[in-house]
Amino acid sequence: MLDVLVVGSGLCGTLAAKHLEGKGRSVLVLEGGPGLPPALPGDVVGFQRAVAPIARSVDQAWAFRAPKGYEWHRVRARGGRTLLWGGWMERPPKDYFDARRKTGAAWPHTLAVELDGWIRRAEKALTVRTGRRGPLHRKLAALGHKAATKRESVLIGQRRMLTAADVSLRSEVRCDSPVVRIEATSEGLIAITASGEALSARRVVLAASPIETARILEFSLPEKQRRRRIDVFDHLIAGAIAIAPRERAGVHPLDAAEPSAVMHPPPTSRARFTTEVRGPTPLESLDAEDLKNLGFTVEEAAKHSFYVVFAMGETDAATPRQVEFDARSLDGLGRPSPRFVARAHTRTEASLGKQMNRQVLGLARQLASSRERAFLIYDALDFSSGGHEVGTCLDRIDENGHVTGLPGVYVADGAGVPAATDRHPSLTLAANALRVADALARSMKS
């Protein structure tokens, strides 16, 4: 019998598997989607083009229901959502964890201190680098903005971010093996896949993404214990694009973080959100449809560059969004589909979203050649985007990620994290995955 089955090969599942390997445990990683080609381009643009068809989830097999226009950023493939990300590795603000204990998370009071050591280990495992200041930072300073440099997980020897698929594992990663439920027996645990295969292990780590982890867990528990709806915390996203006269584009150096400019809110700020600025980028690098939507011909595009400004801030922690598993709508694997429950923005979200929109559009107008060449491309007040969801299993786990109703099962992804925070959550999730894996390893030793 295997020691541990890890469900999900994204950032959290991969780091948990690697940590357990290092503790001498036999591990099998189960991935619901396909594998990747043996070699992928080492530059950002080439990599994105190569993985785009793989990273696109098959809607029939992985169906979901949501309000019109909603886009749920998810991946069912080896590497998970790290195939879509920008390598963000921002350290979490410690005061967020104190505030989120109010949401019912069974995290210890010392977590902010305890997580710090795991953050350092995650940074080492993921080769996190801090970018250098450059022309973009100087340009922003001239406009009156103080910006830091981006911290990013870097693929050494290349010009792109490291993904979970780049982290070497001794363990087998078995692709196209979606897990639908976990069964407990007197001998241990059994993971049942969509094909009907039954795989046995002493422990199971769920890291299939917060909503998928919650779905597997709900349908592994007795029917009377299942929840109709689960809470979700996520980010509001605002974005703007600025068209400027042609400027020299920066070259992304080897072994370095992307030269983005980042602005974090002060801890005392009432509206807490992080802003990122990228550019300048040649306008003709956009595809023909995007250029047409912006009102530019290919010839005109050759004379211009563009900047992109993004902002992310957390949805209202006092009034979580909700997802239910809708038995009236089954996906291609015969499971109830996740349905995102529509609700109006709370007053807190409305206030935050307005400030985020003003920030990104104001910055874009400063960077653009004229006021008319700054466009809002993501409205923070739309219920139209999701991808940093967390907290879906907080009431199912103890402080170590152990599922209280299913002994031997641990939650190691964002489903067990109580805050998306006011910045990108990847480093928080990575550190917590290592923390949970270590607690699991200690439980087996005892």
**CATH number for position 235:** 3.50.50.60
pLDDT tens track for 93-104: 877 777 666 655
Mean pLDDT for the stretch of residues 4-14: 98
pLDDT number for residue 249: 85
Q: How many angstroms separate the CA atoms of 108 and 85, rounded?
A: 30
User: What's the whole-number average pLDDT of the chain?
Assistant: 91
pLDDT number for residue 112: 62
Counted domains in the chain: 1
Would you say residue 402 has pLDDT above 80?
A: yes
Number of other CB atoms surrounding residue 188 within 10 Å:
17
Q: Where are the beta strands (DSSP E) in 218-335?
A: 229-232, 235-245, 261-263, 274-282, 304-314, 321-330
pLDDT number for residue 95: 76
Higher pLDDT, 270 or 51: 51
Q: How many angstroms separate the CA atoms of 367 and 373, rounded?
A: 9
Q: Which pair of structure tokens corresponds to residue 198?
A: 């039954």
Classify the phi-psi angles of 50: left when phi > 0, otherwise alpha if psi is within -120 to 50, otherwise beta.
alpha
pLDDT tens track for 339-368: 999 888 999 999 999 999 999 999 999 999
pLDDT tens track for 79-137: 999 999 889 999 988 777 776 666 555 555 556 667 889 999 999 999 999 988 999 99
pLDDT tens track for 36-45: 998 899 998 8
Helix (H) or strand (E) holding 135: helix 135-142
Would you say residue 207 has pLDDT above 80?
A: yes
* Range of 97-106, 247-256, 272-281 with top mean pLDDT: 272-281
Q: Percentage of the chain surpassing pLDDT 90?
A: 68
> In which domain, by residue range, is 388 found?
2-445
Q: Which pair of structure tokens corresponds to residue 252?
A: 């992304």
Q: Which pair of structure tokens corresponds to residue 285?
A: 């690098």
Q: What is the pTM of this model?
A: 0.94
Instruction: Report how far apart the first and last C-alpha atoms of the chain are (Å, whole number).
Output: 18
Single-letter code of the amino acid located at 346: T
pLDDT number for residue 267: 78
Q: How many angstroms separate the CA atoms of 58 and 54, rounded?
A: 10
Q: How many angstroms separate the CA atoms of 52 and 354, rounded?
A: 32
Helix (H) or strand (E) holding 193: strand 189-193
Mean pLDDT for the stretch of residues 63-74: 86
